[in-house]
């Protein structure tokens, strides 16, 4: 019986964990700052993996990382937080050093995979997972398979075009769903409205973010409520498109913005119903929150490594 090592590479931290066969509770865990702007991220990653390496055999290393990346070759193409990793052959470097296979995919796909295997999506075979936080990421399970695509760039659900003349997205294009419904996009809308003279309890508050806007909305602030209505409306359009493509039995929402609950999901569900091309898509459709929280990336990396080495 052999162990699996899972790695979650985040913007500020790298997490590494060692798992026994069939267990999802790590027996060793290491958390180190990724310090992406300081050279030597790969060396720090190697040392973190060495620190949890067991006496027993390791079957594989699974890695969740921000993209864009190529899961088929195990190459990080570019990741904003780690400038030294440009076309970086991560899995082959790890294989050379540790002599076990390593597998890589992007963090949103891995969170979706984890929710399928261990979380809110258990028992489903057709899943659309969306994480809504500083950006919007997606993961899709289609007919019991993780959807990766020809180049490994499938399921980039946050960059679906909702309005080609819409706001600027973090990726540089216009009108992607991320540019309407991510946390910073909701905050940008509120700031723009304040600048045009809209009255709101948020006027004059420094550093307005989704959390403050949600608090103001719950206290009855009309601008804050309308900001979530707008985000939910556009999210409903995006998800109506996902239903037409993937026909899932469950929608799973992760990420901090999803925690605001009804403020976002009531207008979302109204918009989804209105924009879905056929009501049959909504029959028995489960809409739920993610179950795994911050562990989703790590557990997805675990699931990927096990899946690839069955």
CB atoms within 10 A of CB 12: 9
Nearest CB to Zn ion, comparing residues 158 and 236 = 158
> Between 59 and 176, whose beta carbon lies closer to Zn ion?
176
> Closer to Zn ion at the Cβ: 159 or 230?
159
Least distance between Zn ion and beta carbon 159 (Å): 4
Stretch that binds Zn ion, among 153-161, 187-195, 203-211, 238-246 (CB under 5 A): 153-161
> Which listed range, 10-18, 42-50, 151-159, 182-190, lies at the site for Zn ion (CB under 5 A)?
151-159
Q: Is 93 exposed, middle or buried (0-12, 13-18, 19+ CB in 10 A)?
A: middle
Closest CB to Zn ion among residues 102, 162: 162
Of 34 and 185, nearer to Zn ion (C-beta) is 185
Which residue in the shown chain puts its C-beta closest to Zn ion? 169
Closest CB to Zn ion among residues 174, 275? 174
In sequence order, which residues have a C-beta less than 8 Å from that of residue 202 and are 6 or more positions away? 190, 194, 208, 212, 213, 216, 221, 223, 224
Question: Least distance in Å: CB of 168 to Zn ion?
Answer: 9
Report, in Å, the least distance between residue 181 CB and Zn ion.
12
CB of 162 to Zn ion, least distance (A): 10
Closer residue to Zn ion, CB minimum distance, 3 or 176? 176
Please list every residue from 157 through 196 that binds Zn ion, using CB under 5 A. 159, 169, 171, 176
Minimum distance of Zn ion from residue 173's CB (angstroms): 5
Q: How far is the CB of 177 from Zn ion (least distance, A)?
A: 8
Closest distance of CB 283 from Zn ion, Å: 31
Please report whether residue 61 would count as binding Zn ion according to CB under 5 A: no
**Of 166 and 209, CB closest to Zn ion:** 166
Binding residue count for Zn ion, defined by CB under 5 A: 4
**Min CB(5)–Zn ion separation in Å:** 32
Stretch 86-125: interaction string toward Zn ion, x if CB under 5 A: ----------------------------------------
DSSP string, the chain: --EEEEEEE-SSEEEEEEE-TT--S-SEEEEEE--TTSS-HHHHHHHHHHHH--SS-EEEEEEEE-SSEETTTTEE---TT-TT-SSB-HHHHHHHHH-S-EEEEEHHHHHHHHHHHHSTTTT-SSEEEEEESSSEEEEEEETTEE---SSS----GGG-BS-TTSPBPTTS-BSBTHHHHSHHHHHHHHHHHHHTT---TTTT-SS--HHHHHHHHHTT-HHHHHHHHHHHHHHHHHHHHHHHHH--SEEEEESGGGGGTHHHHHHHHHHHHHH-S-GGGGTT-EEEE-SSGGGHHHHHHHHHHHHHT-
Chain residues binding Zn ion by CB under 5 A are: 159, 169, 171, 176
């Amino acid at each position: 019986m052999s162990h699996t090592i899972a790695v979650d590479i985040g913007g500020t931290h790298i997490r590494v964990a060692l798992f026994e066969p069939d267990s999802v509770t790590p027996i060793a865990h290491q958390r180190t700052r990724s310090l992406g702007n300081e050279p030597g991220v790969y060396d720090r990653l190697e040392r973190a993996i060495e620190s949890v390496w067991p006496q027993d055999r390791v079957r594989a290393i699974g890695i969740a990382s921000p993209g864009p990346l190529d899961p088929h070759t195990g190459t990080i193409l570019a990741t904003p937080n780690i400038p030294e990793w440009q076309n970086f052959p991560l899995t082959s470097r790890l294989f050379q050093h540790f002599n076990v296979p390593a597998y890589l995919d992007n963090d949103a796909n891995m969170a979706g995979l984890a929710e399928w295997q261990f979380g809110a999506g258990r028992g489903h075979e057709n899943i659309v997972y969306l994480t809504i936080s500083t950006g919007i990421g997606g993961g899709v399970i289609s007919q019991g398979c993780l959807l990766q695509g020809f180049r490994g760039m499938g399921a980039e659900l946050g960059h679906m075009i909702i309005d080609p003349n819409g706001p600027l997205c973090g990726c540089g294009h216009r009108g992607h769903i991320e540019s309407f419904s991510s946390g910073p996009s909701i905050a940008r809308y509120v700031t723009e409205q304040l600048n045009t003279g809209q009255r709101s309890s948020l006027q004059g508050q420094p550093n307005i973010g989704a959390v403050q806007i949600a608090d103001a909305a719950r206290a009855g602030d009309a601008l804050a409520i309308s900001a979530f209505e707008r985000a939910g409306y556009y999210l409903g359009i995006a998800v109506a498109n996902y239903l037409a493509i993937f026909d899932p039995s469950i929608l799973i929402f992760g990420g901090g913005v999803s925690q605001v609950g009804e403020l976002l999901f009531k207008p979302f569900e109204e918009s989804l119903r209105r924009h879905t091309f056929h009501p049959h898509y909504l029959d028995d459709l489960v809409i739920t929150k993610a179950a795994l929280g911050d562990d989703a990336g790590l557990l997805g990396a675990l699931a990927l490594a096990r899946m690839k080495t069955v």
